[in-house]
């Protein structure tokens, strides 16, 4: 298949998966149980996870359930569902938001509509900064704020975050939407401060591109197995135990090496909520295609 065909195929599957996932997001359900159900749905298709399923509550970003996670969805929760799939390293990265509280439905709807507007009528060769310019226009008279330090990102085979970024506000960047490129365009809109900070806790990890030698043979084997299966793609603690069948001690020792990257949970103002929507675009010769739609 061509790159375009890969992106279209995995994007179509991503859309189908998300439609099956939406009914699972409801009060009274454990995050861990929902995650396992999502993973089961994904296994129905010829795809793999590009990163751990993210179920991010309220003011949090980059949260994936722990192996013994006891968090249960409540009636006043807002849930951001971020799913990444790949076929042979070609990625569909998309997100949607569900709220059970009518006080936040307007913010969710606004975020979804805003992303749809900024992705309409994009053209090959257009400046990527046009997306940020459009977002500035949409946010101008809004009562909400866009989180300015979270941006979209270029996708390449086996590269979730590649060279170019997709700004969420007007910039002077001269980067263009070049034919054959793919981008994950994501926006996070909040009733908080519009800025997100890293916490001191991480639940998502990746192996460094260049690894240093380790003495422990089991940890060495674990690193090699992750690199073989995940390459540079992120993984979770659950992946180590449930899929690779290594122990907590093995994972602890792995984290003590210099071969692991940590992606911390990101937090907004404690009293705020964040809505997220995300789609992938592919720049074809005559048009820009939203692959996840």
| pLDDT for res 292 | 98
Read off the pLDDT band of 182 (50, 70, 90): very high
Instruction: Kindly tell me the burial class for residue 219, based on how many C-beta atoms sit within 10 Å of its own C-beta (0-12, 13-18, 19 or more).
Output: buried
For residue 118, give every residue at least 6 positions away whose Cβ sits within 8 Å of its Cβ, in sequence order, or none: 131, 134, 135, 138, 185, 187
pLDDT tens digits, 91-106? 999 999 999 999 999 9
pTM of the complete model: 0.96
| pLDDT for res 77 | 97
Task: Report the sign of the C-alpha dihedral through residues 56, 61, 64, 65, in that order.
Answer: negative
Q: Say if CB 211 and CB 227 are below 8 A apart.
A: yes
- Which among 276, 59, 287, 121 is positioned nearest to 185, based on CA atoms? 276
pLDDT tens digits, 112-152? 999 999 999 999 999 999 999 999 999 999 999 999 999 99
Read off the pLDDT band of 226 (50, 70, 90): very high
Computed over every residue of the chain, the mean pLDDT equals: 97
pLDDT tens digits, 2-59? 999 999 999 999 999 999 999 999 999 999 999 999 999 999 999 999 999 999 999 9
Element of type H or E holding 198: strand 197-207
Read off the pLDDT band of 179 (50, 70, 90): very high
- The owner of tokens 């010829």 is 46
Domains belonging to the chain, first-starting first, are 3-196+268-290 (3.90.230.10), 200-265 (1.10.10.10)
In angstroms, rounded to a whole number, what is the distance separating the alpha carbons of residues 5 and 13? Answer: 12
pLDDT tens digits, 234-247? 999 999 999 999 99
Mean pLDDT of the region 196-203: 97
| pLDDT for res 281 | 98
| pLDDT for res 82 | 98
Q: Say if CB 157 and CB 88 are below 8 A apart.
A: yes
| pLDDT for res 198 | 97
- Which among 130, 201, 195, 204 is positioned nearest to 167, based on CA atoms? 130
């Amino acid at each position: 298949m061509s790159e375009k065909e890969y992106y279209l195929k995995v994007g179509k599957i991503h859309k189908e998966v998300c439609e099956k996932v939406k009914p699972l997001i409801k009060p009274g359900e454990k995050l861990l149980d929902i995650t396992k159900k999502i993973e089961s749905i994904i296994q129905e298709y010829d795809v793999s996870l590009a990163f751990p399923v993210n179920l991010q509550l309220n003011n949090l970003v980059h949260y994936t359930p722990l192996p013994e996670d006891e968090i249960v969805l409540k009636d006043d929760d807002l849930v951001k569902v971020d799913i990444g799939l790949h076929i042979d390293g070609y990625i569909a990265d998309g997100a949607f938001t569900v709220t059970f509280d009518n006080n936040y439905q307007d913010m969710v709807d606004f975020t979804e509509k805003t992303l749809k507007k900024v992705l309409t009528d994009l053209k090959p060769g257009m400046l990527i900064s046009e997306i940020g310019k459009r977002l500035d226009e949409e946010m101008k008279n809004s009562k909400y704020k866009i989180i300015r330090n979270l941006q979209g990102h270029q996708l390449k085979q086996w590269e979730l975050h590649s060279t170019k970024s997709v700004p969420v506000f007007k910039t002077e960047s001269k980067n263009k939407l070049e034919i054959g490129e793919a981008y994950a365009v994501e926006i996070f809109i909040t009733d908080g401060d519009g800025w997100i900070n890293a916490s001191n806790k991480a639940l998502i990890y990746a192996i460094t591109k260049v690894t240093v030698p380790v003495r422990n043979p089991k940890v060495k084997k674990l690193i090699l197995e992750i690199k073989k299966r995940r390459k540079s793609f992120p993984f979770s603690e659950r992946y180590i135990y449930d899929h690779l069948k290594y122990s907590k001690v093995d994972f602890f020792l792995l984290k003590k090496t210099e071969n692991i990257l940590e992606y911390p949970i990101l937090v907004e103002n404690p009293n705020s909520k964040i809505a997220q929507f995300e789609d992938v675009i592919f720049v074809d010769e005559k048009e820009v295609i939203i692959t996840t739609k």
